[in-house]
Structure 1
């Protein structure tokens, strides 16, 4: 039994290395957790799905998985919706997503869409002059996002905080108007 467990563990370590996560990496444990219950066929299928869905090259999918091995555990529908939103609606380049795949670990409904709506509203109404990276905007902790993009505009857009809260609950922000 111990030999079987050791063989299984060694196979998982080899698989983690094979998907681009070196043993000394901070992501190594996450990679082991991600592949623990997946067969090699399922891992290969998920890698192919990621390549097709995000229009990534072999190198880009390797970069993304090495930085966020939990992508292997995400369901296809969630990945598809994220791809459509980030590439088609937000306008992120596939290579940019591969370099910063943490954006794919955030909730589309509770974080990505609401923040996109707020930034789009602020830009459309001339309230946000600088061009910020969406990767940065999506990565900010909630408190910092609110302090930087909601609070400063309380006077000119009184409904912003309320609409952001509604959007975070998955409701359509009806009052977010674009000039």
Structure 2
């Protein structure tokens, strides 16, 4: 808004100066100096500019403004916004790009932004594709290594669309050092008999962009659990094991050991469902404690079905357990129930089997199940 007011003021001053006698060059000089002084007197309001011109929300603008604290003029931001608009970015697209990389507004259009677009054009990337790339690439778009890195990832991930999807999952992939990080990791995977096509394109960069020593340690650690390198489970385990540091992984394994997991149980869990290593330490502890102490399942039973640990405690494990207890107390369960078989069902199948087809009044089991979500004790 300050910028707009300054521009209006400057126009008014210029209009006044031209309406007066042309015999006074000194007056024109004085008017110009007055306008310039007025502009200089009022500092450039970065937050206002980010909201009114770039379309950021108030919270986004406050956060971005911290990065742009040294910005004193709208000249560079105006040029950058005009350039982005010329590429085809909508107002929301410009807002997303600036929120992801506020320094984009300070980039030199000719020496940086236009140069990056030209380099991508040599890779066969159209201007409309560049417009989709910018908000996801973040600060990597301003890097001189952008075209080189993108040129590497395109054949690895298979297509430009796959690159965009990978960027949504991991916005830092275009900034990773291809020679020192990505290629050594890729070579290690190939030594393990793993090909890039074996990985979902959204998960592959998570492994390839980690420090090579982390990936090497992950491969060794997974091997200690007896997971064959050529198995799909090994690939699934690589993501949590490579992404997390030793301390986090040790803490999670420590939770399982605290509840009586033996080395054999741990190996079974890793072979059957390494997805549990993606859980937070606290969530893992709560779920294992519930299955062990409340449902009273044996450790070996859980270790053979680790996917059960990853289910939501509040929306799946707890309410289904309470309903099954209710039905058992009413004598409405036929034979011995396998808990995993019950919690593994989809919500619709579970309701059809244990609520809708119940021999007693539907209200009883339905109310019992619903009450579990609000914390009532059956």
For residues 68 and 124 of structure 1, the distance between their equivalents in structure 2, rounded to whole angstroms, comes to 33
Show the counterpart of 2:256: 50
Deviation at 1:13, TM superposition (A): 3.3
Consecutive unaligned residues of structure 2, counting only runs of 5 or more, are 1-177, 189-215
For residues 14 and 130 of structure 1, the distance between their equivalents in structure 2, rounded to whole angstroms, comes to 45
For residues 20 and 165 of structure 1, the distance between their equivalents in structure 2, rounded to whole angstroms, comes to 42
Show the counterpart of 2:357: 152
Say yes or no: does 1:4 pair with 2:181: yes
Show the counterpart of 1:171: 374
Say yes or no: does 1:27 pair with 2:233: yes
For residues 65 and 15 of structure 1, the distance between their equivalents in structure 2, rounded to whole angstroms, comes to 11
Describe the SS at the equivalent of 1:143: helix
Deviation at 1:81, TM superposition (A): 1.3
Spell out structure 1 runs of 4+ moving beyond 6 A: none
With 100-109 and 4-13 compared, the bigger mean Cα shift is at: 4-13
Contact 2:275 2:307 in 1 (8 A): no
Contact 1:17 1:23 in 2 (8 A): yes
Consecutive unaligned residues of structure 1, counting only runs of 5 or more, are none
Describe the SS at the equivalent of 2:363: coil
Match of 2:329 among 112, 124, 130: 124
* Residues 7 and 45 (structure 1), Cα distance of their counterparts in 2 relative to 1, 3 Å cut: farther
For residues 355 and 327 of structure 2, the distance between their equivalents in structure 1, rounded to whole angstroms, comes to 9
Contact 1:20 1:62 in 2 (8 A): yes
* Residues 8 and 51 (structure 1), Cα distance of their counterparts in 2 relative to 1, 3 Å cut: farther
Show the counterpart of 2:305: 100
* Residues 72 and 20 (structure 1), Cα distance of their counterparts in 2 relative to 1, 3 Å cut: farther
The TM-score with structure 1 as length reference comes to 0.84
Show the counterpart of 1:37: 243
The TM-score with structure 2 as length reference comes to 0.42
1:85-106 Cα shifts (integer Å, max 9, x gaps): 1111111011111111111010
Size of the aligned set, in residue pairs, is: 172
Match of 1:133 among 328, 338, 346: 338
Deviation at 1:74, TM superposition (A): 1.3
Q: Is the radius of gyration larger for structure 1 or structure 2?
A: 2
The higher-RCO structure (CA 8 Å, 6+ apart) is 1
CA RMSD of aligned residues (A): 2.2
Deviation at 1:162, TM superposition (A): 4.1
Contact 2:236 2:275 in 1 (8 A): yes
Deviation at 1:119, TM superposition (A): 0.6
Contact 1:154 1:160 in 2 (8 A): no
1:68-116 Cα shifts (integer Å, max 9, x gaps): 1121121121122112211111110111111111110100100001111
For residues 16 and 6 of structure 1, the distance between their equivalents in structure 2, rounded to whole angstroms, comes to 21
Say yes or no: does 1:115 pair with 2:320: yes
Describe the SS at the equivalent of 2:301: helix
With 26-35 and 41-50 compared, the bigger mean Cα shift is at: 41-50
Describe the SS at the equivalent of 1:140: coil
